[in-house]
Amino acid sequence: MTKLVSKWNYPTTVRFGAGRISELPDALSATGIKRPLFVTDPGLAKLPVVASTLKILDEAGVKYGVFSDVRPNPVESNLVAGIEVFKKGKHDGVIAFGGGSALDLGKLIAFQAGQSRPVWDFEDIGDWYLRADASKIAPIVAVPTTAGTGSEVGRASVLTHEATHTKKVIFHPKILPAIVIADPGLSVGMPPFITAGTGMDALAHCLEAYCAPGFHPMADGIGVEGVRLVFENLPKAFADGKDITARANMMAAAAMGATAFQKGLGAIHSLSHPIGGLYDTHHGMTNAVFMPYVLAFNRPAIETKIERLASYCGIKGGFDGFQKAVLKLRKQLKVPHTLPDFIKGLEMDKKRKGLIADMAIVDPTAGGNPVKLTRKAALGILENSIDGTL
């Protein structure tokens, strides 16, 4: 029997609902931010949604700076550049605006700008976060525009180490944004590919959290409802990007996934991280590719739990029915079935496969997998995801 001892943390203040972006100046005031750095990604920076948001700040008389040098998988050089802009502009807080990349980097700029140690000294290992000077972490207001990572309610950020192509999780309790404005209206313009990838990321978070070992019934409950919301709403949001109800439910599911995965993640993420680091792929879509293969690998440990989950979601057929539902959802969203379908021209020799397996088993998410992820197991899942074998 699982030892009934655990530690539970829950997210911050979330102002949820269409149109609530108008409250951004008030949120800044509530957190004491007078001169924010607005952090977003280069693609989003060119779109009307950013222009309209900056207009809200202009009309409120807020003095701000803008930083958008953010890669899809943020790297240390992005962080260094952002900190330079933060210091030069004498900013006292961050508005992290966008998808997971912008949210993660914005949070790290606010965290790292006041630190004297390298960012890698704060990796999510043991109590390394205690090395940070918490008094010098700037406040953050997070505004998600996608429905996937849930980084807006997270106490960590992912940063890629360029030299090793390894994704590192940087953790500190004060990286958690002070206020979140979750306005589903901001996600209406998301293209179908991003809708699919981010939505499948939310599903992966909810699903892996639910399947992770350990005692956290609240996370389990949140994960289960998050899975149901994704199955019910992601196809609608994908088919009609203006469906505000579907968009709202997906934005909720994304925050739920990030809240639930404090319990743990698993092999979907630990395999996805090396692929993203080596091939610069979209994180959520990479998770989507791996999902059915990891489900099949974990079946001996999770079959009963998945049967309960399937029943709650109205899916017939127990584990097999749930697996088929995942495959059907992937097909609806045009998710590639195999890694070669996803990464065109993929050439992965034995050496590269071994490297991915080695990276996967030491990834911080690997420990949450319900079946121990050995090097042999990681190679097996990788082979199946290349061949399309379930």
Query: Which sign does the torsion angle of CA 289, 387, 208, 164 carry?
Result: negative
Decide if 13-187 and 192-387 have a common fold: no
Residue 100 φ then ψ, to 5° = -60, -35
**CA 226/CA 199 separation, integer angstroms:** 11
pTM for the structure as a whole: 0.92
**CA 269/CA 96 separation, integer angstroms:** 23
Nearest to 381 by CA among 268, 281, 273, 305: 268
How many CB atoms are located within 10 Å of the residue 342 CB? 20
The runs of H, that is alpha helices, within 240-282 are 244-260, 267-279
On whether the 13-187 domain is CATH 3.40.50.970, my answer is no
- pLDDT tens, position by position, 40-88: 999 999 999 999 999 999 999 999 999 999 998 899 999 999 999 999 9
Nearest to 35 by CA among 7, 57, 64, 56: 64
How many CB atoms are located within 10 Å of the residue 186 CB? 26
Per-residue confidence band for 2, with pLDDT thresholds at 50, 70 and 90 = low
Residue pair 250/229 in contact (Cβ under 8 Å)? The answer is yes
In order, the DSSP letters of 192-239 are: HHHHHHHHHHHHHHHHHHHHSSS--HHHHHHHHHHHHHHHHHHHHHHH
**CA 318/CA 390 separation, integer angstroms:** 17
The residue ranges of every structural domain in the chain are 13-187, 192-387
Which of 74-78, 337-341, 349-353 shows the lowest per-residue confidence on average (mean pLDDT)? 349-353
CATH class of the domain at 192-387:
mainly alpha
Quick check: helix, strand or coil at residue 336? Answer: coil
Quick check: helix, strand or coil at residue 51? Answer: helix
Is it the case that residue 115 has pLDDT exceeding 90? yes
Nearest to 101 by CA among 169, 41, 191, 167: 41
**CA 194/CA 228 separation, integer angstroms:** 20
Per-residue confidence band for 348, with pLDDT thresholds at 50, 70 and 90 = confident
- pLDDT tens, position by position, 273-301: 999 989 989 999 999 999 999 999 999 99
Query: Residue 165: its pLDDT value, please?
Result: 84
Is it the case that residue 1 has pLDDT exceeding 60? no
